[in-house]
Structure 1
């Protein structure tokens, strides 16, 4: 039977401008990235969704290999739902996608985007320049396994669960990586950058194999690692984890994103995060510049994906 959620939860799913998506890595960690859900959900079928581009990143490759994903609806800023609804919603489920969606579906998605980001830029130049960005969109549909609802955006207190109950067993500590757990990139720089951004999400793999995503605070940035305050319920001990810090403005014009993967050591509600990789970008709050950059990045990413054979791999069963 499809998972059924409340009207209050549905308002969040239908109204948030952005959410954090987590997928599992081959080593058993998790990567968290920000995506635009544009209100994609179907209460009767028990599904949610988001859009991405074939030219951006490797998340489609990862989700095809391991389709268990999580979506964290963590902020009402610039959305179209009830801003007084301060629930933190975590959706976990199994992802699927068609790497070559039909034109009708893409047009429907284009209509859904308008209330969130305004009408698309049109014209001979923009249609050609943004072809890789708009025409190569992929809709990821997530068959919901469970919805976890906290009444506040800090994810405090005991949550309500719709669908499959949460396991009583916590994920056991993982085996440390062979290269060690210490930071491999500048922990001070990464911690200070994350602390300056308003939204910070931590992703890790649960005992049942699904990634979980929870909000965290940066309390200090030291050469030994980034010190975090984490919600109760984050499993104790050491494990691989992903950290996303980001900011955005209305209509997603003006973005900043900082991503890390690394090692997490948790003791109570205090944690030490050792970043092993770093990635990020900052886009100016100018729509024309943003669209030019989107077109360039999508074209470059698509060309790289074709050259590496990743597009052909996505179409194979």
Structure 2
């Protein structure tokens, strides 16, 4: 059955400048990262979408292996919709993508992105420098299984569900990893960096295999981990989880992202998050510098993905 959603939710899916994507890990955890949805959705078909890069081949490879994903629409600033529409929207579904998009698809992505990200730079230098950045765009389409809506951005209201019902029970706590649950990177530093940013999201696996993503706040940090405050719907116990903290500006010019995988212990609405890995970047609030960086990162990412065989792996099934 095709899943649909009301107008006030469609406005959010069509207006938000960024969303948080969560996908599973082989160990039963989740990774959460920021993506650009650029208004990609079709209520008649029951799909939503986002764009990413072939240079992030590891992310696409994991989605290919386990296509159950979630998109959290969690922030209204700098988008095209009504900033007073404060609903928090979680979309869960099955993702597919074409690792060899044709020119028509790439052109359509560019046209769709312009109202959100601005017109692309053109000219002899930019056409050459950004060729990898624009040519390696990938359109990911998510067939929606359910849409969960809270009436505030803190996800502390009652939930409305469109599509498949939520699992009848929370996922059971997971067995601790063999290397232990404690931090493997500097938790104090991670907490200080995260606390400076306005948006924080925690992702973990549900009982039905879909990732869940909830907004959280960072209340402090100790050598044992980051102190988090969670919505009341968060499941208790310990489990592998991903944590994203980020900020962004109009047209996504000027970004800061702090991203972790690790272990979370939840008691009531309080949690201790022990980071095991860290990643992140800071992009300058200057479009020229940003595009120079995008071009460099795209070239490097494609080169690495090619050398590691990820591109061949992603394209193998589609070449048959």
- TM-score, structure 1 as length reference: 0.99
State the secondary structure of the residue aligned to 2:272.
strand
Q: Distance in 2 between matches of 1:191 and 1:65?
A: 32
Q: Distance in 1 between matches of 2:186 and 2:314?
A: 34
Q: Distance in 2 between matches of 1:176 and 1:316?
A: 35
Q: Distance in 2 between matches of 1:57 and 1:122?
A: 27
Return the offset for 1:220: 1.0
Deviation digits for residues 107-132 of structure 1, max 9, x if unmatched?
A: 11111111111110011111111111
Q: Distance in 1 between matches of 2:98 and 2:184?
A: 36
- Counterpart position of 2:47: 47
Q: Distance in 2 between matches of 1:85 and 1:233?
A: 21
User: Is the CA contact (8 Å cut-off) linking 1:55 and 1:132 kept in structure 2?
Assistant: no
Q: Distance in 1 between matches of 2:50 and 2:260?
A: 22
* Residue 130 in structure 1 maps to residue 125 in structure 2: no
State the secondary structure of the residue aligned to 1:45.
coil
Matches within 5 A, 1:92-111: 92-111=92-111
User: Is the CA contact (8 Å cut-off) linking 2:57 and 2:310 kept in structure 1?
Assistant: no
Q: Distance in 1 between matches of 2:190 and 2:20?
A: 19
Matches within 5 A, 1:1-317: 1-56=1-56, 58-317=58-317
Deviation digits for residues 237-284 of structure 1, max 9, x if unmatched?
A: 000000000001100000000000000000010000000000000011
Give the aligned CA root-mean-square deviation in angstroms. Answer: 0.7
User: Unpaired runs of 5+ in structure 1?
Assistant: none
- TM-score, structure 2 as length reference: 0.98
Return the offset for 1:232: 1.1
User: Is the CA contact (8 Å cut-off) linking 2:151 and 2:158 kept in structure 1?
Assistant: no
Return the offset for 1:57: 5.3
- Moved runs in structure 1, 4+ residues, more than 6 A? none
Q: Distance in 1 between matches of 2:125 and 2:61?
A: 31
User: Unpaired runs of 5+ in structure 2?
Assistant: none
State the secondary structure of the residue aligned to 1:113.
helix
Q: Distance in 1 between matches of 2:235 and 2:150?
A: 18
User: Is the CA contact (8 Å cut-off) linking 1:56 and 1:297 kept in structure 2?
Assistant: no
Count, aligned residues: 317
Q: Distance in 2 between matches of 1:286 and 1:58?
A: 28
User: Is the CA contact (8 Å cut-off) linking 2:253 and 2:284 kept in structure 1?
Assistant: yes
State the secondary structure of the residue aligned to 1:316.
helix
Return the offset for 1:56: 2.7
